[in-house]
Structure 1
Amino acid sequence: MTSGTTEQNGFPNESIETSGSNSGNLIEKLLTGIAFFMLGLAILPLGLVISYVIFKGLSRFNLALFTEIPPTAMQEGGGVASAIVGTILLVGLAAVISVPIGIGAGIYLSEFSSKKIAKWIRFATNVLSGVPSIIVGIFAYTVVVLTMDKFSTLAGGFALAILMLPIIVRTTDEALQLVPQEVRWASVGVGASSFHTVLQIVIPAAIPAILTGITLGVARAAGETAPLLFTVIFAQSWPDRIIDETVPSMSVLIYNFATAPYENQQEIAWAASLILILLVLFASILARYFGQKGTY
C-alpha cells in the first residue's frame, strides 16, 4: 500500500524534486543570459570606439608618421614625431614631480599616520581624483603661468602631475596594506626598527603594485588635453628646450587637427588617436602584469 503522493514504498516522490530542479536550472540560465547581454551592452561602446579609430587611423600608419613633424594647414603628408617627443617630455616631467610625492604620501598613510588623519587624507585624495581636468588646467594657469608670466613645459608638467598624484597615492597606500602584517612583526621581532622594516621589507614587497599605479597615472596623463590648453602653446616644430613655451603634444594635436577643415590634418588626428589608444592599451597590459606579480 502506498503512503500518498509524496512517498511511495517509503521513498520521496522523485518527480517533485525533478520538477523543482528543472525550474531552478531554467531561472539560472535565464539570469546568466541576461547578465551576458548586459555585459555585451557595456563593452559595445568600447568596441565601437576602438574599431572606428582603427578603421580611420590605420591607413596613415607608415614610417613618415613617426619621423616627420605635424603638417601646416596647406601642407601634405607629415607625421606626429615631434608631438610624441613633446608628450614624453610633459609626462616625464609630471612623473618626476608626482611619483616621489605620491609614493611618500602613500607610505605615510599606510605605515605612519593615525587612523583619523589617514581617513581624511584618503578622502581628500578621492576628491582630488574626481576633480575635472579642466579645473586642474585653470589652477595650473593661475599658479604657474601667471606667476612665470609665460606658458611653459613646466606648467604643463605641473598640471599633469596633479592628475597623476591621487592615482599614485591610492595605489601605493593599498599596495602597502596588502603586505601581510606578519612580515612587519617578523622584521621587528629580529630587532629592525619600523623605518628599516618599511624601507627594506615592506616597500620592496609592494613594488610591483606601486608600479601598477605609476603606469596607470602615466596612461591618464598622456591622454589629457584640457590642462595643456591652459599651460602650453602648441607648435608643430620640435621642442627647443626642456622648459619651453611651445611644446607639441599628442592630445592637443588631436584636438586641433580633428576640428581643422583640411583632410590631411584630420587623417593625422585619427592616426594620432590610434597611437594614444595603443599607448593606453600597452600601459594597461603593464599594469595588469605588475598587479599580478604583486599579488600576495
Structure 2
Amino acid sequence: MAGVARAAFRSTRVNNTALARRRRSSAVMTGFIYVGGALAMLPLIAILAHITARGLSAFSIAFFTQLPAPAGADGGGIGNAITGTLMLIGMASAIGLPVGIGAGLFLADRRTTRLAHTVRFLADVLNGLPSVVLGVFAWELLVRPVGHFSALSGGITLGMLMIPLVTRATEEMVKLVPVALSEAALALGFSQWRTVAKVVLRTALPGIVTGALVAMARVAGETAPLLFTAFGSPYWVWDVRRPIAALPLQVYSFAQSPYDEWRAQAWAGALVLIAIVAVISASARLAIRSRQRLARGASAGRSIRA
C-alpha cells in the first residue's frame, strides 16, 4: 500500500509540475500577444495623437467654410478642398461601383472559365499597381488629349482604382451565398438575371456595401493620381470640366509651404481627411454588425418556429 501511495504522490507531483509549466508558457505567450498588439497599435496611436495635437489649433468655422487665404495672409480655410474631395469620391463611386459589382458577379458566376481567370488576374494586377503609375496613364489618356486638368479626369482615375477592390469584394461575398438559394429561385421559374438581382445580390449586399465603403476610404486619401488629373484649385469649383481642389492635394501643397499658417492648415486638413476615412470605415463596420444582428435574429426566429 505504501508503494502505491508513493507512486500516486509522484504522479500527482509530476502532473502539477507539468500543469504549472504549461501555465507559465501560456502566460508568457499571452504576454507576447499583448505586447505585439500594443506595438502594432503604437505607430497608429502616435500618428493620430501628433496630427490631432497639431491640427486642432487651426480648426474654426472659417477653416471649414472659406477659401484658402493668399500666401502669407492669416485666416482662410479649405472648404473648397472638402467639397472637392466629396465630389471626387462621388464621381469615383459612380464609375467604380457599377463596374466593380458587375465584374464581381461575373467572376462569381463564371468562376472557372478562361475569361474569368483573365479578368481576375487583371483585377489583382490593377489592385497592386502603384497609384502614381495609374495617374501618369490617366494624364496621357484623359488630360493630354483635352489640354487641361479637370475634376472629371480625377474622378475617373479614382474610379479605376476602386474597380479591382469592389470586384474582388463582390466576388468573395457572392461566393458565400448558398448555391441552394440560386437553385431554388431557378426551380421556381426565375430567369438567370432575376435570380442574380433578386436573390444572390440581395443576400450578398451587406458584404458588398462593406467592400464598397472600404474602397471609398482608400481612394479618399490618394494624392498621386490627382496631381496628374485634378491638379487642384484655390476656388470653389462645381464644373467637373475644371481643375478642382481636394484634401490630399491641399495637404501636400500646404505642408511644403514656407508659411506657418498654411502648414498649420495642412495638419488640420490631414486631420479632416482622417476623420472622413474613419467615418467611412465606421460605416462599414456598422454595416457588418447590422448584417450579423439580422442573421442572428433570422436564425433565432427559425429555431422558435421549429
Residue 47 of structure 2, aligned match among 46, 49, 62: 49
Are 1:107 and 1:172, in contact at CA under 8 Å, matched by a contact in 2?
yes
> Is 1:260 the counterpart of 2:257 in the alignment?
yes
Partner of 1:216: 214
| TM-superposed deviation, 1:40 | 1.0
| TM-superposed deviation, 1:5 | 8.1
TM-score calculated relative to the size of structure 2: 0.91
Task: Give SS of 2:235's match.
Answer: coil
| TM-superposed deviation, 1:7 | 2.5
Q: Unaligned regions of 5+ residues in structure 1, if any?
A: none
Partner of 2:267: 270
Are 1:5 and 1:13, in contact at CA under 8 Å, matched by a contact in 2?
no
Q: Unaligned regions of 5+ residues in structure 2, if any?
A: 296-306
Partner of 1:62: 60
Are 1:164 and 1:218, in contact at CA under 8 Å, matched by a contact in 2?
yes
Partner of 1:239: 237
Residue correspondence of structure 1 range 108-147 to structure 2 within 5 A: 108-147=106-145
Are 1:105 and 1:169, in contact at CA under 8 Å, matched by a contact in 2?
yes
Partner of 1:227: 225
Partner of 1:88: 86
Partner of 2:276: 279
Are 2:95 and 2:156, in contact at CA under 8 Å, matched by a contact in 1?
yes
Partner of 2:69: 71
Partner of 2:171: 173
| TM-superposed deviation, 1:273 | 0.5
Distance between the aligned counterparts of 2:156 and 2:27, measured in 1? 52
Task: Give SS of 2:144's match.
Answer: helix
Distance between the aligned counterparts of 1:183 and 1:95, measured in 2? 29
> What letter matches 1:286 in structure 2?
S
Identity level (%)? 35
Distance between the aligned counterparts of 2:14 and 2:163, measured in 1? 61
Are 2:231 and 2:249, in contact at CA under 8 Å, matched by a contact in 1?
no
Root-mean-square deviation over aligned CA pairs? 1.7
Change (3 A) 1:189 1:12: farther
Distance between the aligned counterparts of 2:45 and 2:245, measured in 1? 29
| TM-superposed deviation, 1:57 | 0.5
Change (3 A) 1:2 1:47: same
Residue 34 of structure 1, aligned match among 32, 35, 44: 32
TM-score calculated relative to the size of structure 1: 0.94
Are 1:72 and 1:236, in contact at CA under 8 Å, matched by a contact in 2?
no
Partner of 2:302: none
Cα distance per residue 1:147-196 (max 9 Å; x no partner):
22221112111211111111111111111111122211221222222221
> What letter matches 1:262 in structure 2?
Y
Partner of 1:98: 96
| TM-superposed deviation, 1:13 | 2.4
Distance between the aligned counterparts of 1:4 and 1:15, measured in 2? 14
Are 1:206 and 1:294, in contact at CA under 8 Å, matched by a contact in 2?
no
